[in-house]
């Protein structure tokens, strides 16, 4: 046998291929990261385990130079490196903030400081950090209006609300910006112009408390240089907190990491729509991703002649069963099927509504109707997702300047289409089980329900 054609060589080649696909490209040699490293070192921080790198799936992140063990502290960032409202209050802005009424919010103080420091250019002591911040953000508030219209309708509505809040924050702060004119070499309105491109909300760690001179809104944001290069993964567990003894913000990993792999943190068990809305990205293979079902969609395929419909909706609201109804990777959620079972109760079954909310199956007819409507809703969403993907594809061919924003929307719709197709298969299996052997649905393992014991009069 010729060298390199055996089983061992094939396994080695497959491993090498997988490794090269996921391995990042070292970017620590770039001038902006060299400057950042020197700046951090001057503030008593020097990391030896992590280096900036660019990864195929996640873009810019941090790569481990050595193997990391479970429970190991991967970053310990000194307080002097953190950009907090304390930083702002102690700066040249502090005196202006103290005089302004009503007091600015913590978020406004941070945003103002970032814009002022970025405008200062080489004169800013924070320049090495500002240079590695993104030049543009992809949170929905930063997307072009024609791109927002391509988002799922509930998400598009939230994006517009988000944009409105940012616009209101800017409008209400104009007077405060004007008061800073003595600090600026040019007109304040040209420095502090509208544009959500400098948002701490996209790259923050959480603190706590309230600062004197600022409004009573919770002061929960701080920017953490270098640490904020870490990307999110729902598959990892970390502990993140400020260590009062060392006066450092620490990240401790809950799982190991091999050499030359990307190191992640977890923002929490968020679905992809929330991650896009708050952080501006859609992770691949998010186990928490889902497709929500609104109240309007819940009743879309139910008979309008049902005289008990309003009462049924009222019961669902009173028992918190009108929200968080979803399709997921495993199919329709238990809450969604439970809500549909209650809505599908016949007049003679209505007194059984309490048992439905407890997870019992009232009748085979009710179960079949519930699954059929769930399948119709799923099919409607599937057709919508397919149509939106076609629209996005056509726009990508015409609007090259929006390619990155459109790709983000495309990723979200693609994921939701996969979820809906998986849910459709699950529903098809359940419908077949009802037709072929209805009694099998009375056992709890499949749907997590208990056998019916009759209804209360």
pLDDT for position 207:
52
Claim to verify: residue 307 and residue 443 sit in the same structural domain: yes
d(CA 455, CA 457): 6
Predicted local distance difference test score (pLDDT) of residue 221: 83
Tell me: do 217 and 103 sit in the same domain: yes
pLDDT score at 201: 46
Which pLDDT does position 439 carry in this prediction?
A: 56
Question: Quick check: is 205 in a domain?
Answer: yes
Tokens 């959480």 correspond to 206
Mean pLDDT split into 10-residue runs, the chain, 457 residues: 53 45 83 96 90 92 93 93 94 95 93 94 95 88 94 96 92 96 94 67 51 80 92 91 92 89 92 95 93 96 93 97 96 97 95 95 94 98 98 94 95 98 97 75 40 47
Burial (CB count <10 Å: 0-12, 13-18, 19+), residue 427: buried
Asked which of 206, 223, 240 is the last residue of a domain, the reply is 223
> Long-range CB contacts (< 8 A, 24+ apart) of 265-270?
265/230, 265/231, 265/232, 265/233, 265/236, 265/238, 265/240, 266/232, 266/233, 266/234, 266/235, 266/236, 266/237, 266/238, 267/232, 269/234, 270/234
Last residue within a domain, chosen from 223, 242, 261: 223
Residue 388 sits in a domain of what CATH number?
Answer: 3.90.1420
Q: Report the alpha-carbon distance of residue 426 to residue 406 in Å, rounded.
A: 30
CATH number of the domain that 187 lies in? 3.90.1410.10
Helix axes 334-343, 364-398, angle to 10 degrees: 120
Domain that includes residue 382, residue range: 291-447
Element (H, E) at 315: helix 309-318
Peptide bond into 196 cis (omega under 30): no
Answer whether residue 249 is part of any domain: no
Cα 301 to the center of its chain, rounded Å:
31
Nearest Cα neighbor of 129 from 229, 58, 247, 29 is 229
Residue matched to tokens 């299996």: 429
Query: For residue 219, what are its two tokens?
Result: 């002061």
pLDDT score for 437: 63
> Same structural domain for residues 171 and 310?
no
- The predicted structure's pLDDT at residue 449: 39
Domain count, the chain: 2
Burial environment of residue 259 by CB neighbours within 10 A (0 to 12, 13 to 18, 19 or more): exposed
Residue 247 within any structural domain of the chain: no
Residues 218 and 295 in one domain: no
Q: Is residue 48 part of a domain?
A: no
């Amino acid at each position: 046998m010729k060298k390199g054609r055996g089983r061992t060589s094939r396994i080695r080649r497959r491993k090498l291929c997988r490794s090269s696909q996921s391995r990042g490209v070292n970017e620590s040699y770039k001038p902006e990261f060299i400057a950042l490293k020197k700046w951090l070192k001057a503030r008593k921080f020097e990391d030896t385990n992590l280096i900036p790198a660019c990864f195929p799936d996640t873009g810019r992140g941090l790569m481990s130079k050595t193997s990391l063990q479970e429970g190991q502290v991967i970053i310990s960032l000194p307080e002097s490196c953190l950009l907090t409202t304390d930083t702002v209050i102690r700066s040249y802005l502090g005196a202006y903030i103290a005089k302004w009424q009503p007091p600015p919010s913590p978020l406004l103080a941070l945003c103002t400081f970032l814009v002022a420091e970025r405008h200062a250019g080489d004169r800013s002591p924070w320049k090495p950090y500002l240079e590695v911040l993104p030049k543009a953000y992809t949170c929905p508030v930063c997307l072009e209006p024609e791109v927002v219209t391509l988002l799922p309708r509930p998400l598009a509505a939230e994006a517009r609300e988000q944009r409105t809040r940012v616009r209101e924050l800017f409008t209400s702060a104009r007077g405060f910006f004007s008061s800073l004119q003595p600090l600026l070499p040019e007109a304040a309105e040209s420095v502090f112009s509208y544009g959500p491109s400098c948002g701490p909300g996209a790259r923050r760690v959480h603190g706590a408390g309230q600062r004197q001179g600022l409004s009573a809104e919770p002061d929960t944001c701080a920017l953490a240089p270098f640490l904020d290069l870490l990307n999110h993964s729902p598959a990892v567990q970390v502990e993140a907190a400020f260590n009062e003894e060392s006066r450092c913000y620490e990240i401790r990993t809950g799982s190991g990491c091999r050499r030359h792999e990307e190191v992640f943190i977890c923002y929490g068990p968020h679905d992809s729509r929330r991650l896009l809305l708050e952080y501006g990205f859609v992770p691949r293979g998010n186990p928490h991703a889902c497709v929500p079902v609104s109240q309007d969609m819940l009743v879309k395929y139910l008979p309008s002649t049902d005289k008990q419909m309003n009462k049924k909706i009222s019961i669902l609201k009173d028992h918190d069963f009108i929200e968080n109804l979803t399709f997921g990777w495993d199919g329709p959620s238990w809450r969604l099927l439970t809500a549909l079972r209650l809505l599908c109760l016949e007049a003679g079954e209505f007194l059984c509504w309490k048992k439905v909310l407890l997870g019992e199956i009232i009748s085979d007819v009710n179960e079949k109707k519930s699954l059929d409507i769930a399948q119709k809703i799923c099919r409607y969403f599937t057709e919508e997702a397919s149509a939106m993907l076609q629209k996005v594809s056509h726009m990508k061919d015409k609007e090259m300047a929006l390619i990155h924003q459109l790709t983000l929307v495309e990723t979200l719709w693609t994921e939701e289409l996969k979820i809906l197709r998986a849910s459709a298969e699950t529903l098809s299996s359940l419908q077949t089980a009802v037709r072929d052997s209805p009694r099998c649905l009375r056992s709890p393992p499949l749907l997590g329900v208990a056998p019916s014991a009759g209804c209360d009069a």
